[in-house]
A and B are shown apart, each in its own frame.
Chain A
Amino acid sequence: MSTIFGIPTPALFGQVLIGLINGSFYAMLSLGLAVIFGLLRVINFAHGAQYMLGAFAAYLLLNYLGIGYWPALILAPLIVGAIAVVIERTMLSRLYGVDPLYGLLLTFGLALILEGAFRHWFGAAGQPYAAPPQLTGAVNLGFMFMPIYRGWVVIASLVICLGTWLLIEKTRLGAYLRAATENATLVQAFGVNVPLLLTLTYGLGAALAALAGVLAAPIYQVSPLMGTNLIIIVFAVVVVGGMGSILGAIVTGYVLGILEGLTKVFYPEASSIVIFVIMAIVLLVRPAGLFGREE
């Protein structure tokens, strides 16, 4: 059996794959956070709860309506996006212009409500959600066996990140979004309905989180607390990458996920804190983050 640095290769690649999977979720979630923050100047603490809602939407659709994984990939983001639109119209929009910390506190409160309610209804334990039959099983890659569903998640997340990046960089809607991030008043003075743009952006960000939640459902258990614990790590990812760049958020997400996976191989005790340690080091060396601009 071959080894690298005294570690059996399959174990090494296995952890790298797990790191890549985690990194996929870090990337998708930090991408959504960065898009929302760029335009709304709100750190969406409810992002984790919206991810959890996506997973629960898939779970509930399956168990109560018999709607399977594939339709849930579309339906869950739509449902969560719609809820987010209502939240933005009725609550967040009242906070534009006041200290951005209030946006953080409001979304924190919303996260507590969602989490508390789901915990009350479903308990803290996780609910299983099976991968669709088309994606079960594993393939032999020669150096390791890879569960097909995990491969699918990595590919899907890459497509989602790339798609979002293209939407923002290459389309007219994306141009509105970039311009409004720089100077919302002027964009509105040109006749663009910026309040609607803000609503859509928040809805889109939440829908992205929900989509990640559906993808996560068969890997991690569907549980009320799955979001918040994750979002705190994603905050650290966002601090490391800096929120100025969409591409930066994506790349940082994947890289930190893989680094975390490697830590599990070489120094497992530190794997749960390695991202925070990296954050602290980056802050000491380059406070604005790797891709950030000093504001």
Chain B
Amino acid sequence: MESIFVNSKDVFLDVVNAKDYIQLDRVSTIYQSLKDSIKKPLKMILLYGKPGTGKSMFLNKLYKDISTSNEIFLYNTPILDESEFYKTLAQDVFGTKYSGELNFTQFMKIVESKEKQSVPVVLLDEAQLYSEALMEKIRLLSDTRTIKFVITLHKTEKEDLIAKEHFQTRIWESIELENASSGELKIYIQKKLMKANCFDTANMFNAKSVNLIHKITDGNYRDTNKLLYTLFELYALYESNHQLSSIKTDQISHKLIEMSAIHVGLIDA
């Protein structure tokens, strides 16, 4: 039988998987509003927030939930080449294979030639990586109302500028995702562990230990996942070295939390 710590460790692998999505009150409200926005005749929806606030998870969840009812396409990694971008969209959305270079004009001709009953939804993750020129084309495409774009952006100064200059007037909905509060983080950790049947380790998290984790990660989901992964790796190591007696097992050891934070670089020591 595998150790509970090894199982718990695997829970916090940094993998974007819609089935691992944790329902939190505030997040589920945001998610619902995003879902409702999809149904509205919006040109573009902007999803922004700091890295690790769950934007990618949001897109994945959205894709999984509405893919059965809507025509929806998800691009987790940006397609940086403009021609490649048009060709991918032409093939996926409009079912037109195109060999050779495809420019915006040619792509627009394909879009106009293919009449769709419902507006297809294209989800673009990490949109800050797209060039300004391509972002301008995406804007023009959304203006035609033939494709609805949901894009995610990292919230930095530069990316704010992009959002303002190119999309401010065209965005009908902009949703900001924030880091979790201490209470939300506790629910997130415990729900995640309980979802994987790790009830014992879920019970080890009390308010104090979660507060310490929150202090270290600032409620960032990605950092929390990284920290907890290392934490349970440490627990598993102590267990295999028969050194568990030297640390707390009834609750999460603050020493191990800090050691994990040092290892992942969240604490400078």
The answer to whether A and B assemble together is: no
